[in-house]
Structure 1
Amino acid sequence: MTVNLQNAEFVLSAVSPKNFLQDGLPQVAFAGRSNVGKSSVINRLLNRKNFARVGAAPGKTVHVNYFNIDKTFYLVDLPGYGYAKVSKAERDRWGRLMEDYFARPDLLTLGVMIVDSRHKPTADDGTMFRWFKDTGCPLIIVANKLDKLKKSEIESNLQLIRDTLELGEEDQLIPFSAEKGTGREELLQAILAGIA
Structure 2
Amino acid sequence: MIIKSAEFKGCYADFKQLPNENLPEIALVGRSNVGKSSLINKVVNRKNLAKSSSTPGKTRTINYYLLNQAWNMVDLPGYGYAKVSKSEQQKWGRFIEKYLAERTQLKGVIQLLDIRHEPTDNDRLMQEWLLHNEIPILIVATKADKISRGARSKHLAAIRRVLQLPADQSLICFSAENGEGVEEVLNAIEELLKD
2:125 is matched with: 127
Deviations 1:109-168 (A, max 9, x none): 011010010111000100111222223122110001111112221011111111111113
1:39 corresponds, among 37, 40, 60, to 37
Return 5+ residue gaps in structure 2 as ranges. Answer: none
Q: Distance in 2 between matches of 1:143 and 1:89?
A: 29
What is the distance in 2 between the residues matched to 1:77 and 1:149?
26
Q: CA deviation at 1:97?
A: 0.5
Distance 1:30 1:93 in 2: 18
CA contact (8 A) 1:68 1:74 kept: yes
Residue 154 of structure 1: aligned partner: 152
Letter in 2 for 1:152: G
Give 1:184's aligned residue. Answer: 182
Which residues of structure 1 form unaligned runs of 5+?
A: none
| Counterpart secondary structure, 2:177 | coil
Q: Distance in 2 between matches of 1:132 and 1:40?
A: 23
1:39/1:54 contact within 8 Å kept: yes
Task: Give the equivalent residue in structure 2 for 1:93.
Answer: 91
Could you report, residue by residue, the CA deviation over 1:77-122 in whole angstroms, capped at 9, with x for unpaired residues?
0000112532222222111101111221523201101001011100
- Shift of the 39–84 alpha-carbon distance from structure 1 to 2, 3 Å rule, reads farther
TM-score (norm 2): 0.92
The answer on whether the counterparts of 1:174 and 1:183 sit within 8 Å (CA) in structure 2 is yes
The answer for the alignment partner of 2:143 in structure 1 is: 145
User: How far off is 1:6 after superposition?
Assistant: 4.5
CA–CA distance in 1 between the matches of 2:127 and 2:18?
21
Q: Distance in 2 between matches of 1:169 and 1:152?
A: 20
Q: Secondary structure at the match of 1:137?
A: coil
Aligned-residue sequence identity (percent) comes to: 43
Question: Which of 173, 176, 179 is the matching residue for 1:175?
Answer: 173
AA aligned opposite 1:25: L
Contact preservation (8 Å) 1:53, 1:60: no
Whichever residue aligns with residue 80 of structure 2, its letter is: G
Count the aligned residue pairs.
194
- Is the counterpart of residue 20 in structure 1 residue 18 in structure 2? yes
Relative to the length of structure 1, the TM-score reads 0.92
Aligned-CA RMSD value: 1.6
